[in-house]
Amino acid sequence: MRLDNIRVSGHVAPVYSSCRGKTFSAAGLGDWSFTSTGGATNPGDGGNGGGFCQVSDASGVSSAYVASGFLGNWYSPSGSGYLTIDLRLLSAGGALIDVPEFIRLSGPGGTAVAAMPAAELPPIGRLWKTITFPLTAAAWTVTAGSWDALLMDVSECRLQLEFSNSTETIGVDNFGRLTAGCPPPDLPIVVSDPGVELCEVLGFAGISTVALNPADGLLYGTIDSASGSCGGLWALAGPAAGMRLAAYALPAHLIFDASGAAFTTEDTSGEIYHDASGSGSTLWVSGFHSGDDDPSGLCFAPPGFSGPNVNPGDILVADCGYNGQDDVWAFSAAVAEDERLVMPHPGDRDFRDIASGRPGQVYLAGTVDPNTITILAPDGTTTTLTLSVPLTNMVGIDYDAVMDRIYVIEQGGNSLRWINPTTGSVTLVADGFAGFTYCGIEIDAAGRRLWVVDAGASRVYEFCLASALGAGEPGASPLGGLLGELKAWPNPAPAAIGISFALASETDARLEVYDLAGRFVRSLVAGRQPAGERTLRWDGRDARGRRVASGIYLLRLSTAGEERSARLVLLR
């Protein structure tokens, strides 16, 4: 047999690419295309990390078409592929609506769509929300052909950007087609400390500082801008997420008392405001002295911090002074206009933040001297802790009472560091931040969480901290801890997730699942638990037995005095 002039028809099948993303960090929009819009631009900031794609409305259905580099073979050999996208609703003139065809995939093998329910959209304003769509047939509606044939060659991916029954302006950022093990599309942070893990990222346009409210366990923050330009106190999580709760001009720092009342410093006015839930904002401190008042960082006086002008439980404030005096004042959380001078002007130090430290000690971070941390005593005297390496422009400071560490953020290296308060040795925790502003650090020592505001990227990073108890080593910790390591596997998971935890001794414990907005999803363990390790399974359902949506969830294990947390990813 002889053969000649053989012809093969068809086309070369595209090769699957496991990690592909678009961050819009560079100017412009690349080769994305748009139809029926009032304009598509990249403002350069305000995104979930730098720039973003901003689309305004016009007549017709506004749509965005994903760049050609994303097209081709979407069929993940492991079956763990997923889409991720960050959304922000800058404005909406009408009621939010369900979008049945938010994402449409088309190709020679078929067509499939994924819906966006109105309830899943972020609130109108400044909050970014990350939404994931697993590339599994169960998460999509196949309208033509077959799911497997479609994914072998996707020739078009369209986003329908119509989320209200009137006009709107939409933000899109960090679009990614990924598989398990791929990094998020825009994550420049490098963690160097093996005892620290980056656990969560929250995008919030303009965010400058963050604080944990002990009364509800939720995060709040400030935007350091004029009140007419959204400056003020904002809720970052919970039912009010994305809402401005009080308008302030150039707020510098924020702290909550045990009842949930907030105290906010206004940098240039020299004033401090008190905001109790339901009663509105009240001027609490109208000024400290004649001249240049610039109150910045706040902290509570620690146990044993009692002197001529301060009592334990008072609130301390660092007045950085700029061209005026640098000093520290105390005031009462219960009585307005009760300010007292604790530390007179020590010379030009520009103290920007203050932290409650070891019993009887308070720490001050400044932008003038890169070689020392100032330690304040209750009588107003100070000593210095010499650092092993200089840290330029230390603008935020907090103290981890569990591990006896001082954490600082420094503008010079855009890095997070911890300092040994006895020796002054400095350890790099993480770097790669876009830029810090004042007081952008908060710690929940008992819950082993640390938050850092990357103001240059409009983000809050949540770090999970190591406990004094070694991982996987049940038994009492040097500091009396009861909780061992909290584990979850597989993670991400398509459905059920296995969970294990350890207790050093018999105790009351709770194991609960929450969504990223802080809403309760389900209790897995509650009540008296024996010592040792326990393994159980979460079937991906809420307290009412309903299957929860794909996305990221938080697992929290708590006893009377400790808490562990872990992040779970469901990809249905």
d(CA 22, CA 106): 20
What are the Cα distances from residue 376, in Å, to 384, 560, 568?
Answer: 9, 32, 42
The CA distances from residue 532 to 52, 269, 377, 476, in Å, are 48, 55, 43, 11
Q: Are 156 and 32 in contact (CB under 8 A)?
A: no
Distance between CA 113 and CA 105 in Å, rounded?
A: 6
Give 344's contacts (C-beta < 8 A, 6+ positions apart): 325, 327, 380
Encoding tokens for residue 502? 């350890």
515/546 Cα distance (integer angstroms): 14
Q: How far is residue 459's CA from residue 454's CA, in Å, rounded to a whole number?
A: 5
What the block records as the tokens of 438 is 């004042």
- Stretch (H or E) spanning 115: strand 110-116
List the one residue out of 141, 129, 185, 163 whose CA is nearest residue 57: 163
What is the separation of C-alpha 16 from the centre of its chain, rounded to a whole number of angstroms? 32
CA distance 338 to 496: 55
The two tokens of residue 282 are: 């009240």
Provide DSSP, 504-546. SS-EEEEEEEEETTS-EEEEEEEEEE-SEEEEEEE-SB-TTSP
Secondary structure (H, E, C), 142-197:
EEEECHHHHHHCECEEEEECCCECCCEEEEEEEEEEECCCCCCCCCCCEECCCCEE
At position 532, the amino acid (one-letter code) is G
CA 266/CA 294 separation, integer angstroms: 7
pLDDT score, position 1? 78
pTM (2 d.p.) = 0.80
What are the phi and psi torsion angles at 451 (to 5°)?
Answer: -115, 140
Q: Report CA torsion sign: 154, 158, 159, 164.
A: negative
CA–CA dist 194, 438 (Å, integer): 27
Burial (CB < 10 A; 0-12, 13-18, 19+), residue 365, is buried
Distance CA(535)–CA(140), nearest Å, equals 33
Q: Which of 148, 17, 154 is nearest to 72 (CA)?
A: 154
Cα distances from 519 to residues 16, 238, 263, 452, in angstroms, run 37, 6, 25, 22
What does the angle CA 522 – CA 524 – CA 526 come to, to the nearest 5 degrees? 110
Q: Tokens at residue 59, please?
A: 């007549």
Task: Residue 5: count other Cβ atoms within 10 Å of its Cβ.
Answer: 4
> With contact defined as beta carbons under 8 Å apart, do 128 and 86 qualify?
yes
Q: How far is CA 123 from CA 150, 238, 448, 519, in A?
A: 33, 12, 29, 15
Length of the chain: 572
Concatenated DSSP letters for 443-474? Answer: EETTTTEEEEEEGGGTEEEEEEEPPSSPTT--
Q: Taking a C-beta distance cutoff of 8 angstroms, is the pair 556, 543 a contact?
A: no
The CA distance from 105 to 110, in Å, is 8
Which one-letter amino acid corresponds to residue 460?
V
CB 87 within 8 A of CB 140: no
Task: Quote the CA–CA distance of 484 and 504 in Å, as a whole number.
Answer: 7
Give me the tens of pLDDT residue by residue for the chain, a chain 572 residues long.
788 887 766 655 566 778 899 999 999 999 999 999 999 999 999 999 999 999 998 877 899 999 999 999 998 876 778 899 999 999 998 899 999 999 999 999 999 999 999 988 999 999 999 988 889 898 899 999 999 999 999 999 999 999 998 999 999 999 999 887 788 889 899 999 988 888 889 999 999 999 999 888 899 999 999 888 999 999 998 889 999 999 999 999 999 998 999 999 998 788 999 998 767 789 999 988 766 678 999 999 998 899 999 998 899 999 887 666 789 999 999 999 999 999 988 777 789 999 999 989 999 998 899 999 999 999 999 999 999 999 999 999 999 998 899 999 999 999 999 999 999 999 999 999 999 999 999 999 888 889 999 999 999 999 988 764 333 333 333 223 456 678 776 676 766 787 888 888 888 888 999 887 677 889 898 888 888 878 788 888 887 777 787 777 888 888 876 778 887 877 66
> How close are the terminal C-alpha atoms of the chain, in Å?
53
210 near 253, Cβ under 8 Å?
no
- For residue 484, what are the contacts with CB-CB under 8 A and spacing of at least 6? 469, 471, 472, 473, 474, 475, 501, 502, 503, 504, 533
Kindly give the pairing relationship between strand 426-431 and strand 415-419.
Answer: antiparallel
Phi–psi pair at 561, nearest 5 degrees = -130, 0
Residue 3, burial from CB neighbour count under 10 angstroms (0-12, 13-18, 19+): exposed
Calculate the CA dihedral of residues 73, 75, 76, 80 and round it to 10 degrees.
130
pLDDT at 35: 95
pLDDT of residue 329: 94
139: helix, strand or coil: helix
